[in-house]
A and B are shown apart, each in its own frame.
Chain A
């Protein structure tokens, strides 16, 4: 079994929000996009993997090892990037690097310096004087300079312009040239994943909506367009989420085959984007 990350029946209850029974896994050599609207539980899940918060129930295995029992071994092999920098901003890039590097047995200064050059980061610049994008690049350089096998990123692209976002995605794809590595990448900007992700896990309101390879998901799901006259109480139930206009409707189905049988040629079925899947699902659960 070559799962680099495996999560089974993960639960965490905060009172006002709960993560309910999340399960998914990531194989070596792939990028998994972890999507969901703000407040879906993405950061909570990532913090649970990093053991920053304590799970109530379930299992988390990284490299086949329990993330709490083998905390040090597991973290030695994880690179992390969070949505905010959390570094000591009075320090320069080099000073901060020296602090982090000491914690990793496998830290490699030559890799770090290579990324600094590539990213145009000056080592003697204070972190507080970096732009948001530059801070993110520094975080990324710090995360991938100790030969980490699993890179975990929580919203690394939020608040960044498309050029920055593309650069980061390029780096991730480069990293995955090494087939022993894997990336878990949370975002609410799904267009980033249309290009980069191999697998998708989608959560909403603390619950798992779907998980699987991007291709299989896009094949199974479809955006259905048709006239109002096709909708009745029974046919409405076929859809996960719907938008109605005066003329007709657009809706998401999780079973293209079934819809095709049901409506035949009277509807148009289009390939959905990840954004379609997310938007319609969230809308559907709001109406339900």
Chain B
């Protein structure tokens, strides 16, 4: 299975260069108050996302799954390696963005940057796990092109969904209940909230992997 992950890395060496250039721009562009806090998370998620999609794009372009599944490899490994690769790509993103951030600080470049921390790491990993869990079953079922389209819709929903929901609640729900809920969440210790979110994402990932395995097991090439 590690060989398959390695394959997904080796076929896209160019992505590393793109990740590096992207990170440099990232810090320059998102240095304002609003985005500053989220810059490591945004960078890592974007890099992982690009690398997942790029490796699948190559598989699709050359129909290389025919080769992969002709090698002494189980289909189960092919599926699980894609999930593992997503985690590895998160690590790549963290290292690249983290390093660029550190270099900016150490070199004394006048940008408001802080060092990467555990919170960034956990948040980015959870977000990519969430995206990958939604994306991979669609990818294995519908193939690269269609899954990308569906994924785009999901991505936008994830981005604009929460704010639309908040707007809806503000307009329609009575203000008291919403405030109560907010207070309730504030009282909840942040480590407990973090752990529950992480547990939920992990559960989702396992369910997603099981669905993907089921789909891929009966796929015809």
Residues of A within 8 A of B (CB): 47, 50-54, 71-73, 75-76, 78, 80, 82, 84-91, 95, 98-100, 102-104
**Which residue of B58, B69, B220 contacts A90 across the interface (Cβ within 8 Å)?**
B58
Chain A residue numbers with a CB within 8 Å of B64 are: 86-88
**Interface code B121-165, partner A: CB below 8 Å = 1, 0 otherwise?**
000000000000000000000000000000000000000000000
- How many chain B residues touch A (CB < 8 A): the figure is 20
Tell whether B73 is near chain A: CB-to-CB under 8 Å: yes
Contact B71 A52 (CB under 8 A): no
Can you list 23 A-B pairs with a CB-CB distance of less than 8 A? A47-B220, A52-B66, A52-B69, A52-B221, A53-B220, A53-B221, A72-B72, A72-B74, A75-B70, A75-B71, A76-B72, A82-B66, A84-B63, A86-B64, A87-B62, A87-B64, A88-B11, A88-B62, A91-B10, A91-B11, A95-B10, A99-B3, A99-B7
Contact call B221/A103, Cβ cutoff below 8 A:
no
Judging by beta carbons under 8 Å apart, are A52 and B70 in contact? Answer: yes
Q: Which residues of A contact B11 (CB under 8 A)?
A: 88, 90-91, 99
- Find out whether the CB atom of B220 lies under 8 angstroms from the CB atom of A52: yes
The answer to whether B72 touches A99, judged by C-beta atoms less than 8 angstroms apart, is no
- The answer to whether residues A103 and B10 also contact, given A54-B220, A85-B62 and a CB cut-off of 8 A, is no
Cα-based distance from A78 to B69 in the complex (angstroms): 12
Bound CA span A42–B125, Å: 46
Q: Point out residues on B near A: beta carbons under 8 Å.
A: 3, 6-7, 10-11, 58, 62-64, 66-67, 69-74, 218, 220-221
A190 to B62, CA, bound (A): 28
Min C-beta distance of A276 to chain B, whole Å: 34
Q: Residue of B at shortest CB range from A50? A: B70
Cross-interface CB contact of B72 among A47, A75, A88, cutoff 8 Å: A75
Kindly list chain B residues whose C-beta atoms are within 8 Å of the C-beta of A91: 10-11
Given contacts A86-B63, A103-B71, 7 further A-B contacts (CB under 8 A): A47-B220, A53-B220, A53-B221, A72-B74, A88-B11, A89-B62, A100-B71
Q: Determine the residue in chain A with the shortest Cβ distance to B7.
A: A99
Measured CB to CB, the nearest residue on chain B to A103 is B71
| Alpha-carbon separation in the docked complex, A95 to B58 (Å) | 15
Q: Which of A50, A54, A102 contacts B6 (CB 8 A)?
A: A102
B34 to chain A, nearest CB (A): 38
**B62 lies within 8 A of A54 (CB):** no
Which of B69, B70, B71, B220 is most buried by chain A, counting CB atoms within 10 A of its CB? B70
Residues of B within 8 A of A47 (CB): 220-221
Residues on the B chain within 8 Å of A76, using CB: 72
Verify B218–A54 contact, CB threshold 8 A. Answer: yes
Bound-state CA distance A88–B220 (Å) is: 21
Residue of A nearest to B64 (CB): A86
Q: Are A103 and B66 in contact (CB under 8 A)?
A: no
Q: How far is the CB of B68 from chain A (nearest CB, A)?
A: 9
* Contact indicator B72/A98 (Cβ below 8 Å): no
* Complex contact A71–B74 (CB within 8 A): yes
